[in-house]
Structure 1
């Protein structure tokens, strides 16, 4: 990918308060950022609490999703596969690349796809004309500057580009706003009816912030020793203590009791939702294997 396709119109993050093109039409975030000039204050090693100070203290690399977790589509993807990707991951925007993710072309918005090919519209599927532009930013950019650029240019997704010109991560406007006001739950986020929902006997989908004692009472499993119970209060805290890091989405962590924790939703900073399976509950991949084994034994 040449430099033109990699870094189109990437604004210089130098001046903390660039003059807007339309005078007073800077908007709410623009007026706030005028008082949030980035400083040389280093980011705290711990995850900071939400607040305005994060706009100048935190950098893009502090909030970006790592490259390994980016869900992106190749330019030659079929319509059915693209629809499946939107359905499975629940995103409204997906980056599109040519060849590899290091050669991004833009993003496809679910609304554009639905208006063009949904509701029985049919027609020949061509992805390239529907692509929207993305921002391309360095990992060291203050998140306040990026948030202002996203508001001004009305582009709500950015790829993080490393010093060698490759893609290093992805960040959305929601990721940035959450650093100021806390986690955002929108109408598409699943309502768990509380902190957990029983999916079937012996299996629960649980919010990582659920109190550990309440999870133990619901499931009947002793998850924490007395010492661990004194140090952590939530299910997510227990999992973090068990492996010493924030797990990746899709990772499965075995508990000494025989139970399993499947990380359903997480970002680089925290665990969000976990699927807890009792030791005797078969996974979707285990069931065919067990059925095959039983059939062979019967023969």
Structure 2
């Protein structure tokens, strides 16, 4: 008995049309990554693939030449937990930095003894007798020269999506996360700090400090805190508080750095893509 609804030839062709068209563009094949990227650009121009697909494919190609050392957070900027600190201090640091994973050291910062998931620290509230050391997960160490392709395979094979990067002498050079690797392919990944503008830009925190978006207009910050915010150079004018702080510092500040302006301390909570996304603002005692 024949199929009452036979598949039309055109339907079968449609399912493979994307791959067929891409194959037509790359046949007989580019001789270098740069030529392949140019071919993808041609495919986008001819509506064979979309812009998002072209960007991701280009990211995959370029990632082959990138290493852990290219995308890592340098050691001085790493947020670490000291296993000998009090529970209250550790919890404060976790709240302020808002990471999900932390390398934990003992004694010296270079002595990383494991990785703590922020959610695991909450177990100590219900069981104070529990040892923090027992909550640590093994730390993964990779060389700076580790290709990102290989590093992604490492992350996929285990549940610890953070690795400590060491230089050729075995000294800690920084850390890299799975997000750092994926952003090489898909671009910047939005996270819990990346709120839509309409949801607000200044938030009061429980400890009498404030969280302020780096894109907040300088005038709005000045009005909110009832201060005068101006650049030291009277000829300079800035639209956003992030731009003003970066100018006064002479560069885009790193996470954890701070600057005092007009009786306010602007501490960087989150910086990404060459810009400050969030400040923690504290009124200084006069």
| Residue in structure 2 matched with residue 114 of structure 1 by the alignment | 122
CA contact 1:254–1:260 (8 Å) conserved in 2: yes
How many residues are treated as equivalent by the alignment?
A: 224
| Residue in structure 1 matched with residue 152 of structure 2 by the alignment | 147
CA RMSD between the two structures = 4.0
CA distance in 2, matches of 1:182, 1:170: 18
CA distance in 2, matches of 1:65, 1:243: 20
CA contact 1:160–1:168 (8 Å) conserved in 2: yes
SS in 1 for 2:109: coil
Is residue 262 from structure 1 mapped to residue 270 from structure 2 by the alignment?
no
CA distance in 1, matches of 2:121, 2:243: 39
Change beyond 3 A, Cα 1:59–1:196: farther
CA contact 2:212–2:278 (8 Å) conserved in 1: yes
CA distance in 1, matches of 2:148, 2:248: 31
> Where does 1:224-263 land on structure 2 (aligned, <5 Å)?
228-229=236-237, 233-255=239-261, 258=262, 260=264, 262-263=266-267
CA distance in 2, matches of 1:153, 1:223: 50
Give the number of the structure whose residues are more often helix, by fraction.
2
CA contact 1:210–1:235 (8 Å) conserved in 2: yes
Q: Deviations over 1:247-282 (max 9, x none)?
A: 233433345xx45451331447432223567xxxx5
Query: What's the TM-score once normalised by structure 2's chain length?
Result: 0.60
Q: Deviations over 1:218-266 (max 9, x none)?
A: 667464678644xx654323332333222233433345xx454513314
Asked which structure has the greater CA Rg, the reply is 2
Among 187, 193, 209, the alignment partner of 2:215 is 209
Ranges in structure 1 where 5+ consecutive residues have no aligned partner: 1-38, 41-50, 291-299
Q: Deviations over 1:146-204 (max 9, x none)?
A: 23321232221111112221112122223333443424223x8789832234679xx86
Change beyond 3 A, Cα 1:275–1:104: closer
| Residue in structure 1 matched with residue 21 of structure 2 by the alignment | none
| Residue in structure 1 matched with residue 177 of structure 2 by the alignment | 172
Structure number with higher relative contact order (C-alpha < 8 Å, ≥ 6 residues apart): 1
Among 94, 97, 106, the alignment partner of 1:98 is 106
Query: What's the TM-score once normalised by structure 1's chain length?
Result: 0.58
Ranges in structure 2 where 5+ consecutive residues have no aligned partner: 1-32, 35-54
